[in-house]
């Protein structure tokens, strides 16, 4: 897959960000904890992309071709980032507000059309 043994030593290693288990490059879920992967995140520059982009290392910073302290390169398989709105209220607050607004409208309707 990666050519000679010399090239294999520089091939990226993938690890589950949930449990830390090493994951084969073609796996769609972690063999240890069962979490599914949606994308890959470079631990050096936090670039997130499809696994095919990382076959020769991070396409942005080239992380897997560099040696880290342990002598191996690691790229973490990650899940989709949750979209968050800065300063957004929790969902229950919106539901409560909508229910209160509906109650006020119903009271006005019954008061007018009594």
Q: Is residue 10 part of a domain?
A: yes
Q: Which of 43, 8, 14, 18 is nearest to 27 (CA)?
A: 14
The total of structural domains in the chain comes to 1
**Which residue is associated with the tokens 């006020």?**
104
Which residue has better confidence, 34 or 88?
Answer: 34
Q: How many CB atoms lie within 10 A of CB 93?
A: 10
Q: Does the predicted TM-score (pTM) go above 0.95?
A: no
Residue 92 covered by a domain: no
- Chain-centroid distance of CA 9 in Å reads 26
Is residue 41 one of the residues assigned to a domain? yes
Contact between 18 and 33 under an 8 Å Cβ cutoff? The reply is yes
Task: State which residues form the domain around 52.
Answer: 5-78
Q: What whole-number distance in Å separates Cα of residue 60 and Cα of residue 44?
A: 10
Contact by Cβ (8 Å): 61, 42: yes
In this structure, is residue 85 part of a structural domain?
no
| Residue 114 placed within a domain | no
* pLDDT tens digits, one per residue of 4-62: 444 455 677 788 888 888 888 778 888 898 888 777 888 888 888 887 787 778 888 88
78 HSE (CA, 13 A, CB side): 15
Vertex 65 angle, CA 64 and 70, to 5°? 65
């Amino acid at each position: 897959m990666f050519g000679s043994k010399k090239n294999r030593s520089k091939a990226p290693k993938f690890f589950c960000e949930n449990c830390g288990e090493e994951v084969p490059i073609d796996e769609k879920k972690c063999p240890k904890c069962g979490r599914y992967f949606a994308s890959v995140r470079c631990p050096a520059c936090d670039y997130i992309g499809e696994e095919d982009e990382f076959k020769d290392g991070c396409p942005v910073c080239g992380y897997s071709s560099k040696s880290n302290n342990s002598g191996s390169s690691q790229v973490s398989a990650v899940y989709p980032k949750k979209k968050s709105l800065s300063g957004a209220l929790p969902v229950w607050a919106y539901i409560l507000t909508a229910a209160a607004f509906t109650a006020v409208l119903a009271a006005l309707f019954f008061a007018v059309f009594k």
